[in-house]
Amino acid sequence: MTLAGKKIAILIAPRGTEEPEFKTPKEAVEAAGATVTVVGIEAGEAKTNNNDLDPGGSYTVDRAAKGISASEFDGLVIPGGCVGADKLRADADVVSFVRSFFEEAKPVGVICHGPWLLAEADVLNGRTVTSYTSIRKDIENAGGTWADKEVVTYKGLVTSRKPDDLAAFCAKIVEEFAEGKHPEQARSA
């Protein structure tokens, strides 16, 4: 499956995004031919974490979320890590950016604590998703249905639980990004 010609955005927090959940999906969509833009709260550098607390690598943030929207991209990846996801969901520009993908019916891949951003963007109502187990109640309180599965795909939205699920997650996001827009994705936006 090829993503040649596709533009994919991937989020990163200033510090705290889980490195394997950032690096592995980024490499997977690039290997499939996509051009990836790293989006954060502000442009510059961002440091990742491993196991939420151990230092990870440093990555270039290509663009700040302020002033951009899904119209510039074909898909979005939201990595997890409880520290990073919490920082991202507290930023109104990031939340608006996430919501714009649902408004434009574009595919989104989310792993681990990333669904916190979906709750903040108010796009979980009526959707079935998975996540790291500790945020199950947050998903349910936002109107979503939680499932304990390696990968859950719901009309253009791909979710996974944790780094152990990355192989299946990456395969599914490449497939969904290749398919393109999913009209049902805009339903809850």
- The torsion region of residue 13 among left (phi > 0), alpha (psi -120 to 50) and beta comes to beta
Place of tokens 């510090």: 15
Tokens of 189: 């936006």
Task: Label residue 43 exposed, middle or buried (CB < 10 Å: 0-12, 13-18, 19+).
Answer: middle
**Nearest-CA neighbor of 17 among 88, 78, 81, 77?**
81
Tokens of 34: 């996509």
Cα 82 to Cα 105: distance, rounded to the nearest angstrom: 26
182 assigned to active site? no
Catalytic residue among 82, 113, 170, 182: 113
Place of tokens 């499932």: 147
113 assigned to active site? yes
Catalytic residue among 82, 112, 170, 182: 112
Cα 15 to Cα 5: distance, rounded to the nearest angstrom: 30
Contact 68, 42 (CB under 8 A): no
Active site residues: 112-113
